[in-house]
């Protein structure tokens, strides 16, 4: 069964182009709405696997719609799409409960990749919910509640930020964790100094995990990091 996408875009031409591309290239079933009021009614009467919400819309803006959707469904992935690129807007989107953020103009191929990644991450999260308090990272057991990693008979305490960063990487395992998302989630700001600080913590985590050759944190150029094992 194909995955279902709620696409909310007030530009009818762009909306139809995106709808057709996602259906033909992604194999998704796509419901297109042209404003937030219509979209909320459609969401209430249907089940969707992911929502793509334009932020600047008449009647009801995307952030308001996203907040209302999140109140109805805590888990459905939400991607905000907007012409704005201000940090405040990105923070607002994540605070509402958005999972990703794409700035117009964007390549349709990039949107499809982001949808695929979100759905894969959502599927991984459902599997991990059976044991949400611990993560098996290769031969290393990570407990975010106690902020400890265990390797055989040895255990090591992590700092708060090391634990938060490793937790995010585990939640995105084998997928890209964007630098921006990590910085906003942990540091609250993606400025230059926080970015350099995160690089230091990534280096620390690499040293902590080097006991297992099958585990690696790799750089994804221009995007972020990926924990693979």
208 with 137, same domain?
A: yes
107 with 169, same domain?
A: no
158 with 224, same domain?
A: yes
d(CA 179, CA 218): 12
177 with 87, same domain?
A: no
Query: Between 156 and 91, where is the model more confident?
Result: 156
Query: Is the Cβ–Cβ distance between 49 and 24 less than 8 Å?
Result: no
Tell me whether residue 39 is exposed, middle or buried, using C-beta atoms within 10 angstroms of its C-beta: 0 to 12, 13 to 18, 19 or more. buried
Using one digit for the tens of pLDDT, what is the confidence trace for 62-120? Answer: 999 999 999 999 889 999 988 766 666 677 777 888 888 888 888 888 899 889 888 87
Domain stops at, among 65, 97, 126: 126
115 with 139, same domain?
A: no
99 with 32, same domain?
A: yes
Using one digit for the tens of pLDDT, what is the confidence trace for 163-198? Answer: 999 999 998 888 889 988 889 888 877 788 889 999
Query: Is the Cβ–Cβ distance between 122 and 116 less than 8 Å?
Result: no
58 with 112, same domain?
A: yes
Domain stops at, among 109, 126, 143: 126
Count of structural domains within the chain: 2
110 with 149, same domain?
A: no
* CATH code of the domain in which 101 resides: 3.40.50.2300
How many CA atoms does the CB half-sphere of 47 hold within 13 Å? 3
Domain stops at, among 126, 147, 163: 126
101 with 210, same domain?
A: no
* CATH code of the domain in which 145 resides: 1.10.10.10
Structural domain including 116 reads 4-126
110 with 140, same domain?
A: no
* pLDDT at residue 12 greater than cutoff 50: yes
118 with 16, same domain?
A: yes
- Residues contacting residue 204 through CB under 8 Å, at least 6 positions apart: 162
């Amino acid at each position: 069964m194909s995955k279902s996408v709620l696409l909310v875009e007030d530009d009818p031409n762009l909306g139809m182009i995106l709808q057709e591309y996602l259906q033909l290239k992604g194999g998704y079933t796509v419901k297109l709405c042209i404003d937030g009021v219509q979209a909320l009614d459609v969401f209430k009467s249907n089940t969707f696997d992911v929502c793509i919400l334009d932020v600047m819309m008449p009647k009801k803006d995307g952030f308001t719609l996203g907040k209302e959707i999140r109140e109805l469904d805590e888990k459905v992935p939400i991607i905000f799409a907007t012409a704005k690129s201000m940090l405040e807007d990105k923070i607002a989107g994540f605070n509402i409960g958005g999972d990703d953020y794409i700035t117009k103009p964007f390549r349709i191929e990039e949107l499809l990749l982001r949808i695929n990644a979100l759905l894969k991450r959502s599927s991984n999260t459902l599997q991990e919910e059976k044991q949400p308090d611990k993560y098996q990272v290769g031969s290393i057991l990570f407990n975010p509640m106690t902020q400890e990693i265990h390797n055989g008979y040895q255990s090591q305490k992590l700092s708060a930020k090391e634990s938060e960063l490793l937790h995010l990487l585990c939640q995105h395992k084998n997928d890209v964790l964007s630098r921006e998302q990590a910085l906003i989630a942990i540091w609250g700001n993606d400025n230059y100094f926080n970015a350099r600080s995160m690089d230091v913590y990534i280096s620390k985590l690499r040293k902590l995990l080097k006991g297992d050759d099958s585990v690696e944190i790799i750089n994804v150029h221009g995007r972020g990091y990926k924990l693979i094992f």
